[in-house]
Amino acid sequence: MSYASVLIQFLNGLASASSLFLIAAGLSLIFGVTRVVNFAHGSLFMLGMYLAVALAPGVGFWLAVPLAALAVGAFGAVAESLLLRRLYRAPELLQLLATFALVLVIKDFALWAWGPEDILGPRAPGLAGAVTIAGQRFPAYDLFLIALGPAVLGTLWFLLKRTRWGMLVRAATQDRDMASALGVNQKGLFTAVFGLGALLAGLGGALQIPREPATLGVDLQVISDAFVVVVVGGLGSIPGAFLAALLIGEIKSFCIGLGFSKLTLVAEFVVMAAVLVLRPWGLLGKVRAEVRGAGALEPPLRLPSRGALLGLAALFAALALLPALHAGYTLVLLTDVLLFALFAVSLHFIMGPGGLHSFGHAAYFGLGAYGAGLLVHKASASMGAALLAGPWLAALGAAAFGWFCVRLSGVYLAMLTLAFAQITWSIAFQWDAVTGGSNGIVGIWPSPWLSGKTAYYYLTLAACAAGIALLWRVCYSPFGYALRAGRDSPLRADAIGIDVRALQWAAFTFAGFFAGLAGALYAFSKGSISPETLSIPRSVDGLVMVLLGGIQTLTGPVWGAALLTWLQDAVARGVDYWRAVIGGVILALVLAFPQGAAGFLRERFAR
Amino acid sequence: MTVLAVKDLSKSFGAVHAVHGVSFSLAAGELLAMIGPNGAGKSTCFNLLNGQLAPDAGAIELDGRSIAGLAPRDIWHLGVGRTFQITATFGSMSVRENVQVALLSHRRRLWSLLPLAARHGCAEADALLARVGMLEQAERPCALLAYGDLKRVELAVALASRPRLLLMDEPTAGMAPAERDALMRLTTALARDENVAVLFTEHDMDVVFTHADRVIVLAGGALIAEGTPQAVRADTRVREIYLGGADD
């Protein structure tokens, strides 16, 4: 690589860093003040792109960009005041869920408004050409982007450090209750900060249109990139976001420039891992003091009554007898319900007793599915061998990622798990030779004796019931108690000799194994797998199941899985814009039952 | 018999010598109070003993065995129980379950996946709870307990490992005078009966002078006086530096 091409790659990296910075800065700013991790931030970026593409033919590119950014900012402010404002007192997880519902709604809005095809944007008038740098041609527009990043950093710095409004924002970031007690108008401040963050995301998106087409898939890609940047830079630190954006932007650029574009993810992963091991709170983040008694008070876990056990046994018996009465599509749907119930229970195992809020549990579901599928496809393994081996691949993946994850907690953990899931997805999506890329793997059928719907239903029922029963039982074991002890009070757990991290790591791996089992069963039930199997929406499905059912109860995730699977099936078949419908339903449920459905029922009727 | 021997313990944070050349020892069954004005180095000293911090220099020996620089959980397994200034218990568990977890940890049974934890060591847990007067509330979740009761639960949890040494950070902070006395009398009885050495920090001089067998005084990171409560009370340097003339 010559000196000149090194320079060009370096400049390329700076240009992408600017765009990464815009989105990460907004995310960080919003989190700092409202303590909400805005999942929909990538969607706001996407909205900025589409709006700019749509406006540019009419008003010209240079006017379209600020207009799109302002429109997205206004949308953010409205969404905050109508929706999120009602949820600031709700548990953190439900806030995240609400912002994810926004992701679904915005995606379908974009689909409805602009259609499924990618739309190419205009070149920037005046900067459409290239300049010659060290004998190589470099887009003039990218030079503009390079200058923009530091300009925005400077503006934000001025706004936060030198204005009265910025002082209020910083005060609220440090201690919002105190700021409120001193008479700061929280409502207005929160709405304004959310609007500003959204504006930055919209600006980032709008500025991106001369470089890449507007596309529907960009939202989740951007949000996971932004999470990586924020985790590396330190949550709440704007200069940290800038530094991390530079680092990640350069790494991506050099990996692509050197012809190792497939190594990009690996390099990104290595950097993130190194930063997290050396500085778990990010490059410029502040060490967060352990919050005492933070979050909602966890409910006790009582041994089930005889009646409850009988009820579960009766449910199992009914499920076992069902094929005799009814066959056909119901069994296919119930097979899905069962394996998603196992998936949801495995997620609940780490989220409830473990207190580890994973936003990327589908990675292990997908690893199980791909592990089983690849064994059948590449090694012509039998179904039995594949079903047994798939979960082990998932456990291996969970052990590798979990080692990093258990070093973090709270929203950091959520972001990191999501980033790992996105990395796993990208590998499945990009590694054509092994995973079949976007087409996935087809022809994963069960052994002949299990190929009937009824036979496969029985296999799924047996495996899932056993898995769920084991996961539940472990909650009552010394291991489960120690896990809850680490969640309730890490300080006390450490003081009575409990190695909290090691336990959490083991629990993460254990849960990964069962998510993998669900994934392997899924692969054989569908006959094919694609990267969808481990995409972020699947992870969020798991979260929705757990939270809809109520995280406080052991059985909640099962009801949540049944409800969501049925809902998706019923809605996806009948409605074009089913994502928006599901998003709307989630929003309605979150607003109506901030404690989850089972939690609501219990509170309502247990007195 | 000496349980804890501390020699020339030092710890600095940057240019600040938080603890400097502190030496003292503690015998089985003895209650030793560590006092000193704010910033004297009490907390640092405590955190060095319980493993939250590693010393820059000096030795900490428990029954002749060095524990300096070990992790808190390893120090616990060697027989050091702790209570916190602000109580830390497992809020989602009942009082009995809190003790059961400590018993399970002591027996290194936390990694077993199938037995029911709630059936483990009920009798022993109840015996410990009876010892601290919390048996009647064994079934209640810790999240619902009164503050003074939480302190008792912490004591029962700390005793689950049959400790040689009990570290109590401001055991009576935030309690009413009658409660303070009851808790310290209980601690004294436990120390005598179980032959446990107790080291506690305390701001309340009544508690110190009523219940401690011996007192050590820290100021500016150094140990400036040591002796019986009466001797320390009479020490002019202590009166000067610590009591600041305020006689109580």
Of B104, B113, B120, the CB nearest to A474: B113
- Which residues of chain A are within 8 Å of residue B103 when distances are taken between CB atoms? none
Asked if A307 reaches chain B (Cβ–Cβ under 8 Å), the answer is no
Q: Indicate whether B112 and B235 sit together in one domain.
A: no
Q: Decide if A462 is inside a domain.
A: yes
Q: Decide if B16 is inside a domain.
A: yes
R_g of chain A, CA atoms, integer Å = 24
Residue type, B149: D
Q: Which residue of A has its CA nearest to B91?
A: A488
The percent of chain B in helix, strand and coil, each rounded to the nearest 5, is 40, 25, 35
Q: Indicate whether B171 and B143 sit together in one domain.
A: no
- Among A184, A217, A250, where does a domain finish? A217
Asked if A569 reaches chain B (Cβ–Cβ under 8 Å), the answer is no
- Which residues of chain A are within 8 Å of residue B71 when distances are taken between CB atoms? 494
Of B50, B97, B105, the CB nearest to A498: B105
Distance from CA of B135 to the nearest CA of A (A): 19
**Which residues, other chains included, contact B212 with Cβ-Cβ below 8 Å and sequence gap of 6+?**
B31, B32, B33, B200, B202, B229
Answer whether A477 sits within 8 Å of B112, measured CB to CB: yes
Q: Which residue of A has its CA nearest to B144?
A: A297
Answer whether A478 sits within 8 Å of B111, measured CB to CB: yes
Q: Indicate whether B190 and B237 sit together in one domain.
A: yes
Alpha-carbon distance A330 to A325, whole Å? 11
- Which residues of chain B are within 8 Å of residue A495 when distances are taken between CB atoms? 50, 72-73, 76, 82, 84, 88
Q: Indicate whether B167 and B234 sit together in one domain.
A: yes
Answer whether A489 sits within 8 Å of B88, measured CB to CB: yes
Q: Which residues of A378-387 are buried (b: 16+ CB within 10 A; e: fewer)?
A: eeebebeebb
Asked if A302 reaches chain B (Cβ–Cβ under 8 Å), the answer is no
Q: Decide if B132 is inside a domain.
A: yes
The token pair that represents B135 in the structure block:
């048996």
A-B contacts (CB, under 8 Å)? 113
Answer whether A495 sits within 8 Å of B104, measured CB to CB: no
Structural domain span for residue B117? 90-147+154-162
Q: Give the residue from B92, B95, B137, B169 with the most A CB atoms within 10 Å of its CB, the best one to mutate.
A: B92
Q: What is residue A514's predicted lDDT score, i.e. its pLDDT?
A: 96
- Among A167, A193, A217, where does a domain finish? A217
CATH of the domain at B197: 3.40.50.300
Q: Indicate whether A201 and A324 sit together in one domain.
A: no
Residue type, B142: C
How many domains would you assign to chain B? 2
Alpha-carbon distance A483 to A503, whole Å? 6
List pLDDT tens digits, range A124-136: 888 878 888 878 8
Beta bridge partners of A131: A138
Alpha-carbon distance A214 to A50, whole Å? 6
Q: Indicate whether A202 and A328 sit together in one domain.
A: no
Q: Which residues of B touch A (CB under 8 A)?
A: 50, 71-74, 76-77, 82, 84, 86, 88-94, 97, 100-102, 104-106, 109-118, 120, 141, 143, 157, 160-161
Asked if A482 reaches chain B (Cβ–Cβ under 8 Å), the answer is yes
Q: Under DSSP, is residue A361 helix (H, G, I), strand (E, B) or coil?
A: coil
Q: Indicate whether A178 and A316 sit together in one domain.
A: no
Q: Decide if A251 is inside a domain.
A: no
Answer whether A488 sits within 8 Å of B89, measured CB to CB: yes
Answer whether A482 sits within 8 Å of B91, measured CB to CB: no
Answer whether A478 sits within 8 Å of B86, measured CB to CB: no
Distance from CA of A322 to the nearest CA of B (A): 31
Q: What is residue B247's predicted lDDT score, i.e. its pLDDT?
A: 46
Q: What is residue B246's predicted lDDT score, i.e. its pLDDT?
A: 47
Q: Provide the residue-wise pLDDT of chain B in tens; the chain has 248 residues.
A: 899 999 999 999 888 889 999 999 999 999 999 998 888 888 899 899 989 899 999 999 999 999 998 999 999 999 999 998 888 899 889 999 999 999 999 999 989 998 988 889 999 999 999 988 899 999 998 888 888 889 999 999 999 999 999 999 988 888 888 888 888 999 999 999 989 999 999 888 888 989 999 999 998 889 988 999 988 888 888 888 765 644 44
Query: How many C-beta atoms surround the C-beta of residue B28 within 10 A?
Result: 18
The residue count for chain B: 248
Q: Give the residue from B52, B67, B101, B165 with the most A CB atoms within 10 Å of its CB, the best one to mutate.
A: B101
Q: Decide if B239 is inside a domain.
A: yes
R_g of chain B, CA atoms, integer Å = 18
Q: Which residue of A has its CA nearest to B72?
A: A495
Q: Indicate whether B129 and B27 sit together in one domain.
A: no
pTM of the model as a whole: 0.85
Work out the mean pLDDT of chain A and round it to a whole number: 86
Beta bridge partners of B211: none
The token pair that represents A166 in the structure block:
């910025």
Secondary element (H or E) of residue B34: strand B31-35
List pLDDT tens digits, range A481-535: 999 999 999 889 998 999 999 999 999 999 999 999 999 999 998 888 988 888 8
Distance from CA of B224 to the nearest CA of A (A): 30
Q: Indicate whether A396 and A510 sit together in one domain.
A: yes
User: By C-alpha distance, which of B120, B143, B145, B144 is closest to B132?
Assistant: B145
Alpha-carbon distance B6 to B199, whole Å? 12
Q: Decide if A77 is inside a domain.
A: yes
Q: Decide if B6 is inside a domain.
A: yes
List pLDDT tens digits, range A30-87: 888 888 888 899 999 999 999 999 999 989 999 999 999 999 999 999 999 988 888 8
Q: Indicate whether A341 and A482 sit together in one domain.
A: yes
Alpha-carbon distance A362 to A370, whole Å? 12
Answer whether B93 sits within 8 Å of A300, measured CB to CB: yes
The answer to whether A201 touches A99, Cβ cutoff 8 Å, is no
Q: What is residue A598's predicted lDDT score, i.e. its pLDDT?
A: 55
How many domains would you assign to chain A? 2
- Among A180, A201, A217, where does a domain finish? A217
- Which residues of chain A are within 8 Å of residue B114 when distances are taken between CB atoms? 473-474, 477
Distance from CA of B115 to the nearest CA of A (A): 5
- Which residues of chain B are within 8 Å of residue A300 when distances are taken between CB atoms? 92-94, 141
The token pair that represents A283 in the structure block:
């490059």
Answer whether A479 sits within 8 Å of B82, measured CB to CB: no
Q: What is residue A377's predicted lDDT score, i.e. its pLDDT?
A: 83
Distance from CA of B151 to the nearest CA of A (A): 13
Q: Decide if B73 is inside a domain.
A: yes
User: By C-alpha distance, which of A579, A264, A543, A227 is closest to A426?
Assistant: A264
Q: Decide if B223 is inside a domain.
A: yes
Asked if A399 reaches chain B (Cβ–Cβ under 8 Å), the answer is no
Alpha-carbon distance B200 to B182, whole Å? 16
List pLDDT tens digits, range A430-478: 888 888 887 888 878 777 777 778 888 999 999 999 999 999 999 999 9
Higher confidence at residue A390 or residue B1?
A: A390
pLDDT band at A597 (very low <50, low <70, confident <90, very high): low
Q: What is residue A296's predicted lDDT score, i.e. its pLDDT?
A: 46
Q: Decide if B85 is inside a domain.
A: no
A 31-70: CB under 8 A from B? none
Q: Decide if A555 is inside a domain.
A: no
Residue whose entry in the numeric block shows the structure tokens 């011996």: B214
Q: Indicate whether B101 and B209 sit together in one domain.
A: no
Q: Indicate whether B13 and B114 sit together in one domain.
A: no
Q: Indicate whether B158 and B169 sit together in one domain.
A: no
- Which residues of chain A are within 8 Å of residue B96 when distances are taken between CB atoms? none
Alpha-carbon distance A219 to A360, whole Å? 16
Distance from CA of B103 to the nearest CA of A (A): 9
Answer whether A478 sits within 8 Å of B73, measured CB to CB: no
The answer to whether A560 touches A544, Cβ cutoff 8 Å, is yes
Of B73, B93, B109, the CB nearest to A494: B73
Distance from CA of A486 to the nearest CA of B (A): 8
ipTM over cut 0.85? yes
Q: Indicate whether B72 and B128 sit together in one domain.
A: no
Q: Indicate whether B168 and B238 sit together in one domain.
A: yes
Answer whether A481 sits within 8 Å of B112, measured CB to CB: no
Asked if A76 reaches chain B (Cβ–Cβ under 8 Å), the answer is no
- Among B103, B127, B162, where does a domain finish? B162
Q: Under DSSP, is residue A519 helix (H, G, I), strand (E, B) or coil?
A: helix
Q: Which residue of B has its CA nearest to A486?
A: B90
- Among B99, B134, B162, where does a domain finish? B162
- Which residues of chain B are within 8 Å of residue A494 when distances are taken between CB atoms? 71-73
Q: Under DSSP, is residue B81 helix (H, G, I), strand (E, B) or coil?
A: strand
Q: Decide if A594 is inside a domain.
A: no
Asked if A498 reaches chain B (Cβ–Cβ under 8 Å), the answer is yes
Answer whether A300 sits within 8 Å of B74, measured CB to CB: no
The answer to whether B155 touches B190, Cβ cutoff 8 Å, is yes
- Which residues of chain B are within 8 Å of residue A491 when distances are taken between CB atoms? 84, 88
Q: Indicate whether A353 and A486 sit together in one domain.
A: yes
- Which residues of chain B are within 8 Å of residue A479 when distances are taken between CB atoms? 110-113
Q: Which residue of A has its CA nearest to B109?
A: A478
Q: What is residue B156's predicted lDDT score, i.e. its pLDDT?
A: 93
Q: Indicate whether B170 and B59 sit together in one domain.
A: yes
Q: What is residue A294's predicted lDDT score, i.e. its pLDDT?
A: 40
Q: Decide if B229 is inside a domain.
A: yes
A 257-296: CB under 8 A from B? 292-293
Q: Under DSSP, is residue B20 helix (H, G, I), strand (E, B) or coil?
A: strand
Q: Indicate whether A327 and A191 sit together in one domain.
A: no
For chain A, give the percent of residues with pLDDT over 90: 35
Q: Indicate whether B158 and B172 sit together in one domain.
A: no
Beta bridge partners of A32: none
A458-to-A323, A342, A558 alpha-carbon distances in Å:
9, 15, 18
Structural domain span for residue A514? 312-532
Answer whether A299 sits within 8 Å of B92, measured CB to CB: yes
Q: Indicate whether A513 and A394 sit together in one domain.
A: yes
Distance from CA of B182 to the nearest CA of A (A): 23
Distance from CA of A488 to the nearest CA of B (A): 5
